[in-house]
Amino acid sequence: MRFAVDTGGTFTDLIVEDDDGGLHMFKAATTPDDPIRGVIDSLENAAAGLNTDLASLLGQGELFIHGTTHAINAIVTGNTAKTAFLTSEGHRDILVFREGGRMEPFNFTVPFPQPYIPRALTFEVPGRMLADGSEMAPFDEAAVLAIIGQLKEREVEAVAVCLLWSIVNSAHEERLGELLAEHLPGVPYTLSHVLNPSLREYRRASSAAIDASLKPLMSAYMHNLSGRLRDAGFGGRVLIVTSQAGVMDAEDIAESPIHLINSGPSMAPVSGRYFARVDEQSDSAVIADTGGTTYDVSLVRRGGIPWTRETWIGEPYRGHMTGFPSVDVKSIGAGGGSIAWVDDGGMLHVGPQSAGAVPGPACYGQGGDQPTVTDAALTLGYLDPAFFLGGAMALDIEAAHRAVDNAVAGPMGLSLEDAAAAVISIATENMVQAIVDITVNQGIDPREAMLIGGGGAAGLNSIAIARRLGCPRAIIPEVGAALSAAGAMMSDLTSQYRRTLFTTSEAFDQDAVNQLLDQLESSCQNFIEGPGTGAIETSIEFFAEARYPEQVWEIEVPIASRRFDGDGDVAALVEAFHEAHQDIFAINDPESGIEVVGWTAAVKCRLRESESGTLLAGDTGTDIEGVRKVYFSGAGFVDAAVRRFETLEVGEKLAGPAIVESAFTTVVVDPGATAERRASGSLSIEPGVA
């Protein structure tokens, strides 16, 4: 038995895979003050739903896979450890200067962002390496010991180290680490050349700073999670979802918690890719995961999940760059809990503020009084107030009406229903723009991609979004309400290893490159023989970070052969680079050579026989044949057929207007749209026209 849990801003989603491959889905409210309590609550709901007790359920467990927003929340709220930054003498302002750039070059009303670690906790270390690896100035141990003394006095809780050119010669950084371990015991530290051996000082420094600042918090979180699961009866392996759409052991992730920045959202495209392939035989998809707090958009492009190294915490240039590869996810403040409000000019907005898990939408009856997308959907008849979460939570429709009327309908002079429809319309437009931004940036035409709707609120407006984008199909998987948790269940154990070595296609240093690739493959093999022991299948892929001569930025290109054996292999790499450049930028220079600055090896260990699984309906599988009054703009209230998601027959078609409900989601089939049940359990919808 396996468990996959994704902790979101409003709900904690759980997928349980039984020994026969059947999938069971459960939800519990997220508990921001103690996220692990929400995890345990979801497991207790599962135990009750499967007619057993928590200890017995967990006692059957082999794997527990967890996606969490705890790391990113700590950064956003400023709850990270008090961290010091140690860098080379004369380069104290790496985190201040960054790489330059502004979102709005001439908007001088925006203050320059503060460095991730304040300058008062930044210290200069005497000693200097050069780009060729030679030592220009010796390492000064006495000065370092004096700095460590200051760190003790200031009671720092973590230390980030980034010395110039440690990626070429790491001797100074390694010695600094030894001194920290000896004279500052118990205080975690991060060495940049170990964590992120890549070119560019700011990115390497920023990643080291972020990683170190998270170590005390995430080490305690992982220890607490493993301990509480063990106390509850779980004796299996605990894996944590990473930003790279893979999983790592909890104890390993505690040593490099920067991998957790986009944990959770990175899993949605894994399951989205699967459903696009099996439901519509498509290798291009837009995955839109609608949670209670955020709307996360990611892509599948030619069967692959695009990555980016331009990962920012906050807005570009105004936030902090992680300097680490991550699944390319665009998040906006739009979800079921997003608050609708009218500004002083009478303009309606939805989000980015969210009612979250506490107090939640007004209709939850937990003290919230501001209208949200969920309140608007309830007002329009999209949701059944008696069947929310399968009846586990009764919704207060009168509270929803009051909230929408007081904050939107009244100020705007609209009827209650028109105001609620306007809230849904604005939320839809925000979501469409987020999708347009990311698809255009990746060279994807949304008119040629499937729209995969995930998250409990996805079904409310996925058809409207698909129509606006021109998508041929909108797919709502049966496990879509827990899309990221489902992706975690499908994910592989992964790791990446990177090294810097500069060479050019005209003067390719074949021996040095092959020696480096040997080292990278050895690291991957050690991973396979260590954490990957017992994997069903393993694979190793190699990539080169290359650019045209004198270009500023590199792109990552797969290496067809594991080693370079003559000019033919080099020519193949150059040709692959030209093709990748054309694909990304719609231009290339086929007559030009290339420069390669970095090399990466990625290892995957498959833990599961198959990606597929059958969602078992449980006690909510009683079909209903009924109608409900539902409001659509331009049509008013109409009679919509109401059906249970899990009891639709494979191949059965349902024309809109209709509502398809399950315990965890509601799909609104607009007039003019047609939904069809697929063998995977998904609802595949042809949007049609309004």
Mean pLDDT by groups of 10 residues along the chain of 690 residues: 86 88 86 90 92 94 90 85 96 90 83 91 96 94 96 96 95 97 96 92 95 95 94 94 89 91 85 92 91 85 84 84 86 86 92 82 91 94 88 89 95 94 94 89 84 90 93 92 87 91 94 96 95 92 94 90 92 95 88 95 87 54 72 90 90 92 90 93 87
Tokens linked to 257: 């918690």
Q: Side chain identity at 377, as an amino acid letter? A: A
Q: Which of 149, 153, 154, 207 is nearest to 180 (CA)?
A: 149
Question: Which pLDDT belongs to residue 488?
Answer: 87
- pLDDT score of 620: 44
CA dihedral 674, 677, 682, 685 (to 10 degrees): -10
List beta partners, residue 638: 630
253 sits in which H/E element:
helix 250-255
Model pTM greater than 0.75? yes
- Write out the two tokens for 475: 């797919």
From residue 634, give the alpha-carbon distance in Å to each of 426, 662, 671, 690: 16, 27, 11, 9
Amino acid (1-letter code) at residue 502:
F
Question: Structure tokens of 502?
Answer: 């500069």
Residue 465's H or E segment, with its range, is: helix 462-469
How high is the pLDDT of residue 690?
Answer: 60
**Cα–Cα distance measured from residue 52 to residue 125, given in angstroms and rounded to the nearest whole number:** 59
Q: Is 599 helix (H, G, I), strand (E, B) or coil?
A: strand
**pLDDT at site 105:** 82
SS3 301: strand
Q: How far apart are the first and last CA of the chain?
A: 45
Measuring CA to CA, which residue among 295, 410, 417, 287 is closest to residue 350? 295
Cα–Cα dist 321/504, whole Å: 28
Query: Could you say which DSSP state residue 372 is in?
Result: B
Q: Are 644 and 661 in contact (CB under 8 A)?
A: yes
DSSP sequence for 59-111: HT-SEEEEE--HHHHHHHHT-S--EEEEEETT-TTHHHHTT---SSTT-TTSP
Q: For 389, what's the count of Cα atoms within 13 Å in the CB-facing half-sphere?
A: 16
- Alpha-carbon dihedral sign for residues 574, 576, 581, 582: positive
Question: 340: helix, coil or strand?
Answer: strand
pLDDT of residue 145: 97
Of 389, 367, 493, give the one whose Cα is nearest residue 42.
389
Give the torsion sign (CA, 584, 589, 591, 596). negative
Q: How far, in Å, are 147, 243, 360, 497 from residue 488 at the CA level?
A: 43, 12, 26, 22
Say whether the peptide bond before residue 671 is cis (omega within 30 degrees of 0): no
Q: With CA atoms as reference, report the closest residue to 40 among 5, 89, 90, 68.
A: 5
CA atoms in the 13 A half-sphere facing the CB of 324: 29
Q: Sign of dihedral through CA atoms 221, 222, 227, 233? A: positive
Token pair 């987020």: residue: 434
Q: Could you say which DSSP state residue 296 is in?
A: E
C-alpha 577/C-alpha 560 separation (Å) is: 11
Residues 6+ apart with CB under 8 A from 239: 63, 64, 65, 66, 247, 248, 249, 250, 493
Q: What domains sit in the chain, N to C, each tagged with a CATH number?
A: 493-606 (3.30.1490)
Instruction: Report the distance separating Cα 103 and Cα 651, nearest Å.
Output: 49
- Looking at residue 615, its pLDDT comes to 60
What phi, psi does 645 have (nearest 5°)?
Answer: -55, -50
pLDDT confidence of residue 621: 45
Which DSSP string corresponds to 163-205? -TTTTT--HHHHHHHHHHHHHSTT--EEEHHHH---S-HHHHH
Pull the structure tokens for residue 297: 């958009």
> Position of tokens 């007559």?
591
Q: How confident is the model at residue 623, as a pLDDT? A: 53
- Report DSSP letters for 509-569, one per residue: -HHHHHHHHHHHHHHHHHHHHTTTTT-SEEEEEEEEEEESTT-S--EEEE-SSSS--SHHH
> Would you mind telling me the total number of residues written for the chain in this entry?
690
Which residues are bridge partners to 15 per DSSP?
4, 25
Nearest to 685 by CA among 285, 675, 677, 451: 675
Instruction: Say what angle helices 201-232 and 70-77 make with each other, to 10 degrees.
Output: 120
